[in-house]
Amino acid sequence: MPLDPILIHACALALAAILATAATHKLRAPRWFVAQLEAYALLPQGLLKPVARLLPLLEGAVALGLLLPLSRSAAALAASALMLLYAGAIAVNLWRGRRDIDCGCAGPGESQPLRPVLLLRNSVLLGLALLATATPLARELGLFDGFVAIAAAAVLLLLYAAVDGLLTNAPRLLKLTGR
Amino acid sequence: MEALIVSNILLWILLIALAFVVMGLVRQIGVLHARIAPAGALMLDKGVTVNEPAPQVTAADRNGRPVNFGYPGDKGQLLFFLSPSCPVCKSLLPAIKAVAKERPDLEVVYVSDGDPDAQAALIREFKLEDARYVVGPEVGMTYQIGKLPYAVLIDQPGILRAKGLVNSREHLESLFEAERMGIASLQDYLHSPDHAHGNAVKIHQ
């Protein structure tokens, strides 16, 4: 289904930035990320280190691919697969009843326990990725279209950061009110 | 047409600014949460009493030098009880090292027990080769330490001034505050009649 290019560009830009930050915080705290993978208890011990090394590189590559017009739809498909994978990992651990482990979603220092809300967050990201896979409608793009795409991506990113902050704060608030 | 484009650009800019403000607010709430959550080092009601002479015990540190605990000396002591298998202890080590640097009047002693290889790895990781590091169960048993990371503050005459379970830098600082004010712990402060009903602190419980 062809979509207006502005929509696709904005989604791809925002997703690329989200994946790039995810990759950098994983690369900057490799030991934390290995411990995080171990906490999810989905991989055998021997695979933890290679996967922890590989996953941020994959995220970085997908982020780069989203920015280039040639590889955009392929990269968007890869991003959807990543989001599905993460959602699956969260769902398996929720199903196991392990709500006390850290989600590891927003890097070290921003810990939050696993909750079903996180699946909703991942499905929103999945929606962004799926929108970015669509083929753009053929039309002339002017300077103003570029501005709108960048501005929309910036608003998406800021709102994502705000929602992420609210999600991190929610369990702390619950702890504070003692419920 | 021109007016529509101008209005559209203006709206986008205002929307970005608004999203910035929302994100900033959420961040500030996060910082507030981080600041409110630690209420002070939790003192479990057992073991040695605060503002009484600390139990005296001597143990050898990793290099074989004897370390005296609880004896009068020319320096106060901060005992930090840790274990290589406790992640919170590790996250507190930089704060403890900062205290050691800031307070030359205080002798910082690390007390741990268990697997020597894990101890050596921890010491290498945090560059504690020159610190006084005691490995052995005697000190922990004398001071009846049941939970980690635990800190005990002893002043120069050998009086135990503050102690508690420390989970954050704020908890650690609360020990020094307790020493300065002569109050055993935050719980004591809140439950003492002069403060609990005064207008100095109001805490919703």
How many Å apart are CA A146 and CA B108, to the nearest integer? 60
Same domain, B32 and B128: no
Chain A residues 98-127 with a CB less than 8 Å from chain B: none
Amino acid identity, position A106: A
B interface test, pick of A38, A155, A173 with most B CB neighbours within 10 Å: A155
Residue bearing the bigger pLDDT, A59 or B118: A59
Question: pLDDT above 70 covers what percent of chain A?
Answer: 98
Question: DSSP assignment of B22-49, as one string?
Answer: HHHHHHHHHHHHHHHS--SPBPPS-SSP
Residue A148 is nearest to which of B12, B27, B36, comparing CB atoms? Answer: B12
Amino acid identity, position B110: Y
Residue B99 in this model has a pLDDT that exceeds 60: yes
User: Looking at the domain assignment, is residue B160 inside a domain?
Assistant: yes
Same domain, B118 and B19: no
Residue A179 confidence class, pLDDT cut points 50, 70, 90 = low
How many Å apart are CA B153 and CA B109, to the nearest integer? 10
CATH number, position B150: 3.40.30.10
Nearest CA in chain A to B8: A148
CA distance B158 to chain A (A): 38
User: Looking at the domain assignment, is residue B205 inside a domain?
Assistant: no
Same domain, B26 and B70: no
Same domain, B91 and B131: yes
Strand partners, A145: none
How many Å apart are CA A93 and CA B109, to the nearest integer? 41
Same domain, B12 and B96: no
CA angle A124, A17, A89 (to 5 degrees): 45
Same domain, B110 and B183: yes
Same domain, B8 and B83: no
- A155 touching B (Cβ < 8 Å): yes
Same domain, B33 and B61: no
- pLDDT averaged over every residue in chain A: 89
CA angle A120, A125, A127 (to 5 degrees): 95
User: Looking at the domain assignment, is residue B80 inside a domain?
Assistant: yes
A interface test, pick of B9, B10, B23 with most A CB neighbours within 10 Å: B23
Is the CB of A161 less than 8 angstroms away from the CB of B23?
yes
Residue B205 confidence class, pLDDT cut points 50, 70, 90 = very low
Reduce the secondary structure of B14-25 to three states and give it as a string: HHHHHHHHHHHH
CB contacts of A173 in chain B (<8 Å) are 33
Strand B132-135's sheet: what is its strand order? B132-135, B106-112, B76-81, B150-154, B160-165
Residue A80 confidence class, pLDDT cut points 50, 70, 90 = very high
**CB-based contact B36:B170 (threshold 8 Å):** no
CB-based contacts of A80: which residues, under 8 Å, 6+ apart? A126, A129, A130, A133
pLDDT digits (tens, 9 = 90+) for B29-86: 988 887 776 555 655 556 677 778 888 888 888 878 888 888 888 888 888 888 887 7
Please give the sequence-ordered ranges of beta strands (E in DSSP) within chain B, or none if there are none.
Answer: 57-60, 66-69, 76-81, 106-112, 132-135, 150-154, 160-165
Residue B16 is nearest to which of A154, A166, A172, comparing CB atoms? Answer: A154
Residue B12 in this model has a pLDDT that exceeds 80: yes
User: Looking at the domain assignment, is residue B49 inside a domain?
Assistant: no
How many Å apart are CA B6 and CA A144, to the nearest integer? 11
Same domain, B133 and B186: yes
How many Å apart are CA A90 and CA A36, to the nearest integer? 12
CA distance B157 to chain A (A): 40
CA angle B99, B105, B109 (to 5 degrees): 55
Same domain, B125 and B192: yes
Lowest mean pLDDT among A16-25, A145-154, B57-66: B57-66
- The residue segments making up the domain with residue A145 are 5-177
Residue A28 in this model has a pLDDT that exceeds 70: yes
pLDDT at A123: 94
CB contacts of A175 in chain B (<8 Å) are 37
Lowest mean pLDDT among B69-78, B156-165, B191-200: B191-200
Residue B181 in this model has a pLDDT that exceeds 60: yes
Same domain, B33 and B74: no
Residue B199 confidence class, pLDDT cut points 50, 70, 90 = very low
- The residue segments making up the domain with residue B27 are 1-37
Burial A31-41 (b: 16+ CB within 10 A, else e): ebbbbbbebbe
Same domain, B70 and B168: yes
Range of A74-83, A102-111, B2-11, B39-48 with top mean pLDDT? A74-83
Q: Give how many domains chain B has, as a whole number.
A: 2
Burial A63-89 (b: 16+ CB within 10 A, else e): bebbbeeeebbebbbbbbebbeebbeb
CA distance B103 to chain A (A): 28
Q: Give how many domains chain A has, as a whole number.
A: 1
